A = this chain, B = another copy of it.
Amino acid sequence: MKTHDYPGIKDIARLAGVSIGTVDRALHNRGRVACDTKRRVEEIARQIGYKPNLMARSLARKSRTTVAILVPDPVQDEYWQQVWSGFESLFSISEHQGIYVRKFFYSLDDQDLFSKFAEQIINEKPDGLIMAPNYPDSGLKLFKECEKASIPVIIFDTNLPEINPSCFIGTDLYQSGMLCAQLLEMITHRQGNFAIFHIDAPLSYSHDMLEKGKGFNDYIKNNNSKRSCLSFMIDSQHNMEAQLDAAFKNNVAGCFVSTSKTWIIGEYLKKRKHADIKLVGFDLILKNIELLKEGWIDFLINQNPQQQARKSLNTFINHFAFHEEIKADEYFPIEIITKSNLMSV
C-alpha cells in the first residue's frame, strides 16, 4: 500500500492564506464569505485539482439516509425472490455508505395493502423510494405525493407511462414482445399461426401483458409475415386443459406466453407431444428452466430481476453517497436465453 497523497482542504487553506473553515464555506456556497476570498479559494482548488474526500465528508456529516423499497412479497413468487436477492446483495455496501433500507412487501392480490404502505411511506418520509407500481393508480398517487415532498422515486420493473420524465429502471415491455415475435418467426419453419397466451391475468399484471402482446402483434403485422396471431386468455384454475385444447385447434405453429407462466404451455406441449410447436416466453424460473433444457421451451426472455434491483439501489447509493444526479429512464437490456447460454447466466 502506497501513501499517494492528494491535496486537501488544508492545503488550499495554506495556499490561500485563510483558515479551513473559510475554505469550506467558500467551496460550498454557504455564504458569509468575501466575494474576493471565495474566488481565490476556488481558483486554488481548481489549480491543485482538489477532490473532496467523500469518506471524510460523510463521516463528518454523520448523515444517515433511508431508502424505502416497495415491492411484491418475495415469498409469493420466484421472480420477486430474484428481485429481492438483487437488493440484498447491496445491503452491506449501502450500509457502509450510511444508507439504510426500509422494506415494504405487498401482496400481488391485495391492492389495499399497497395503499396502506403508500400512506405509511409518506408518513415516514424516507430520503428515497424504489417502487414497483403493480397497482398503477395507487402507484401514481404515491409518486405524486413523493414529488410534492421532494422525495426522489425510482420506478422499478413496470413503468408508469403517465409520468414524464420519471426515473424508470426495467425492461421495455413492448420491445420485448417484438423480440419474441422476431425469435419465433426465425425458428418456426413450418406454416401455421402464432398463439399469444395471457395466463391468469390479475389486475396488477394486466398492463404488462397487454404491452408485450401489442409488441408481439405489431412485429408480426409489420414484417410481412404470412401468419396470423391469435390471443387467448387462460385461467389456469378452471378447466385449463380444455381451454388449451380449444386454442391449439387453430393450427398453431408457435406460441408466445406473456409472463413467467410459460411453463404451463411447455408442460402442455410436452404432455400432448407437440414437439414441432415452438414456444417462447419470460423469466428464468425453475420450471421454465427445466423445460428449456428439455427442449419444450425454445427461448426465454430474462428481465434480469437481480440486476435491475441492484441498479436501482445503486442509483440511490451513488446519489446519496457520491452526489451523482439521478438520471432519467434507464431501459435494461433484454436478455435472450436458450439452452446453450443458460448456465452462463
Contact = CB atoms under 8 A, between A and B. Distances in A.
A66 B331 contact: no
Interface in A301-345: 318, 322, 331-341, 343-345
B341 A333 contact: yes
A340 B186 contact: no
A92 B54 CA distance: 10
Interface stretch (A172-180, A206-214, A252-260): A172-180
Given A4-B66, A64-B3, A186-B298, A54 B341 contact: no
A183 to B, nearest CB: 7
Nearest to A317: B93
A87 interface: no
A309 B117 CA distance: 39
A65 B143 CA distance: 42
A221 interface: no
A219 B340 contact: yes
Interface size class of A (residues with CB under 8 A): 35 or more
A86 to B, nearest CB: 14
A338 B183 contact: yes
A229 to B, nearest CB: 16
Nearest to A345: B333
Q: Tell me how many chains of this kind the complex includes.
A: 2
Interface in A50-106: 51, 53-56, 58-59, 62-66, 92-93, 95-98, 100
Contacts of A345: 333
Given A186-B186, A344-B333, A54 B96 contact: yes
Nearest to A176: B341
A339 B92 contact: no
A2 interface: yes
A25 interface: no
Interface in A101-150: 127
A246 interface: no
A168 to B, nearest CB: 13
A253 to B, nearest CB: 13
- Closest 4 interchain pairs by CB? A179-B340, A336-B336, A55-B55, A334-B341
28 contacts: A1-B63, A1-B64, A1-B65, A1-B127, A2-B66, A3-B64, A4-B64, A4-B100, A5-B64, A53-B59, A55-B55, A55-B56, A93-B318, A171-B344, A172-B344, A175-B340, A175-B343, A175-B344, A176-B341, A181-B340, A182-B338, A183-B340, A186-B298, A333-B335, A333-B341, A333-B344, A334-B344, A336-B337
